[in-house]
Amino acid sequence: MKAEITNINDILALKTALEICSKKSLQLIVPIQSHIEEKQLKIQKVLFDLQHRLKDAERKLSNQNNMLTLCKSRIEYDESGNIRTLNCTSEERAVRRATNELKAARRNLDEMRQLTQIVENRLREYENKVSIFRSLNTDFTDSCSEYLHKIISLVNEYLNLQDEYKKI
């Protein structure tokens, strides 16, 4: 098999295209990273909101418990002067509702924390893979560029020798 090389422009174009492709593939990481950061901010906002909801639910339960305690501690007398216990069922219902809301707020926050942990684990995996990709991309591109540079040098030497033999 005979290969006849008369022009190194194709090899130079290949080397340039390889370097451009490598650079562009590394640039694709930037918008992905921006997207990840945007989603992380949203997750942090949701966590912050859920923490506030939990605090609000705790305050609400405390207030409802105080209202129930006040209701139970109030003393009323009937027309005969006998002590009459007040009906505190609405306050008791409010305490149960507030307790359920507090449980839901805790559950939501716990689930979001678990989700956040999963996201952080996946993010670490992604960052490791990006690091490996960058390293492999750079190593491959450098290796190919060196190889193509050697080929270009050899072709130039070959072409120079060919020109010298034509003169003889």
pLDDT tens-place string over residues 59-117 = 999 999 999 999 999 888 888 888 888 899 999 999 999 999 999 999 999 999 999 99
Query: Does position 3 have pLDDT exceeding 70, yes or no?
Result: no
- Contact of 67 with 91, CB cutoff 8 Å: yes
Q: Which two tokens stand for residue 2?
A: 């005979």
Query: Does position 12 have pLDDT exceeding 90, yes or no?
Result: no
Three-state secondary structure call for residue 76: strand
Place of tokens 């390293």: 135
Cα angle, residue 127 at apex, residues 27 and 20 outer, rounded to 5°: 20
Cα angle, residue 136 at apex, residues 133 and 142 outer, rounded to 5°: 135
- Round to whole Å and give the CA distance between 40 and 46: 10
Q: How confident is residue 6, by pLDDT bands cut at 50, 70 and 90?
A: low
| Beta-strand pair 76-77/83-84 | antiparallel
- Round to whole Å and give the CA distance between 83 and 96: 27
The 10s digit of each residue's pLDDT in 17-29 is 999 999 999 999 9
**Residues ≥6 apart with Cβ < 8 Å to 102:** 54, 57, 58, 60, 61
- Bridge partners (DSSP) of residue 83 are 77
Whole-prediction pTM: 0.70
